[in-house]
Amino acid sequence: MKICMIGSGYVGLVSGACFADLGNKVLCVDKDRTKINKLKSSISPIYEPGLDDLIRNNYRAKRLDFTDDIEKAVKDSQIIFICVGTPTKKGSNLVDLSQVYSVAKTISKYIKNYKIIVSKSTVPVTTGDQIEKIIGKKVKKSLFDVVSNPEFLREGEAIRDFKYPDRIVIGSNNKKIFKKMELLYEPLIKKGAKFFCTSRKSAELIKYASNAFLATKITFINEIANLCETAGINVEDISVGMGSDARIGSRFLRAGPAYGGSCFPKDTKGLVSTADKFKSNLSIVKSVIKSNQNRKILLTKRVKKIMNNKIKNKNITVLGVTFKANTDDMRESSSLVLIPYLIKKGAKVKYHDPSGPKKEFKKNKNLKFERTLSKACYGADLIIINTEWDEFKSIDFKKLVKKNNFKIYDMRNLYNPTELKKRKIKYYSVGRQEL
C-alpha cells in the first residue's frame, strides 16, 4: 500500500519505518527541511535502538522516503496518517490540538480521490469528529473516511512493540473501513496480534484510559514504597506478591522515580480535561497526577536526608537523566527537578547519560556532563542512579570513585543492599529497609 506519515517525530518515524519494513511504500512528511535531509542520510533525529538501521535499509530499498512536500505526499497516498504532537496547553490540563487541525485543513486542499485519514496522534474523544468536519468543508464525504488508530509504542522498545503488538485498535464509524485496515496490518495479525474494531470515539478513549491505568500502577507502587520504607518492608516482595495475581500482573510495579516521558504526564491530564468536558469526575486520575508531582519533590527531600542536610560543596553524580533507559527523551523526567535542586543547594553536580548531554541543562552552573562513567563517578560524595541503563547495573563503585565514605542512592533498585553492605558501601534505595 501507499502510505504517508504526516509528522516525522517519534510516532510517525517509527511507524513509517516499520510499515516500510512490512513491504509498503511509505513517505514521511515533515516541515523541517533540515530533518528531512538528515533522514535521507539515514540520520535519525531521535534515539531509539534499531531505528537507524531500519531507516537506512528501507530507504536504500526505496520503500521509505522523506519529504517536506505535503501536497505530493497526499496525492500519492492511499492512507494518510496524522502523527503530529498533542502537548498539554501551558497552565492547564487541556490538550493542544492545533497541529492536528492544521494538518486536517492542509490535506483537505489536496484530496481529489478517495483517502483513508488515520489519526495516530493521541487525542481526546470527538477529535475524529472535528477532523471530519474540517476536511468535509472542502472535500465530498464520499472521498474520505476518518479513522482512529492509536499507537502503543514504548520508547526504547518501539520497533518491537510495532512488529509484535498485543492488539491493533481500529476505530471507525464506517464498518467497510475495517477490512481495508485489516489488510494493512495483515502481517502483524498473522503473528498473533489481536485486531480490535470499535467506534472512533471508543478507540480514542482506549488510548487515554490505557495510559492512565498504567500511570496509576506506577504511582500506586511508589506510594506503597513510601509505606515500606517507614514500616521496614521490602517493596520488591510486595511487587512480586501482587504481580503474581493474574488479575493484577507484574508489569509497571517497579518502585522508582515519578513517571515521565511524552505520554503518561500529558495523557493523564488530557483524560481529566476530557472528563471535565463531559461533566464526569475522574478523581482517581486527578489523585495520580498530584501524587506523581509530589513524588519528584519527595525524592529530592530524601537526598537531603541521606546527606544529613549537608549538600553544599558536595560532589554529587547523577547517573542517567532521561525519564527511562534506551531513549533520549527528557520530557517530565525527575532529573529536571532533582538536578536544579542540588545546584540550588550548592552541590557540585556531574551527570552521565549514554544518550549524551542535554540542552535542558545548558544554563545550569556547577553542572558538568561527563562522557564516561569513570570521570562521572570519580571523587563523588554521592552517586544517584536516576535511570536504569544497562551500563549502570554492574558498576565497581569503589574502583571508580577512588575515595572512602561515599554514598549511593539507587532510585531504580538495581543493586542488592546486602552485597553493597559487604563491600562497606553506604547504600540507599527505594522502598527497601536500610541495612
Active site residues: 263
Distance CA(294)–CA(110), nearest Å, equals 48
Listed residue (122, 118, 149, 121) closest to 132, CA to CA: 118
Distance CA(328)–CA(343), nearest Å, equals 22
Secondary structure in 3-state letters for 259-290: CCCCCHHHHHHHHHHHHHHCCCCCHHHHHHHH
Distance CA(143)–CA(132), nearest Å, equals 11
Q: Give the burial string for 360-374 (b: 16+ CB within 10 Å, else e).
A: ebeebeebebbeebe
Distance CA(24)–CA(199), nearest Å, equals 26
The size of the chain, in residues, is 435
Burial of 171 by CB count in 10 Å (0-12 exposed, 13-18 middle, 19+ buried)? buried
Give me 134's grid cell: 474540517
DSSP structural state of residue 22: T
Give me 9's grid cell: 517525530
User: Please, which residues have CB within 8 angstroms of residue 65's CB and are 6 or more apart in sequence?
Assistant: 26, 27, 28, 40, 59
Distance CA(103)–CA(95), nearest Å, equals 16
3-state helix, strand, coil split of the chain in percent (to 5) is: 45, 15, 40
Largest Cα–Cα distance of the chain, in whole Å? 75
Cα dihedral sign, 319-324-330-331? negative
Pairing between β-strand 115-119 and β-strand 64-67 as defined by DSSP bridges:
unpaired
Rg (CA), the chain: 24
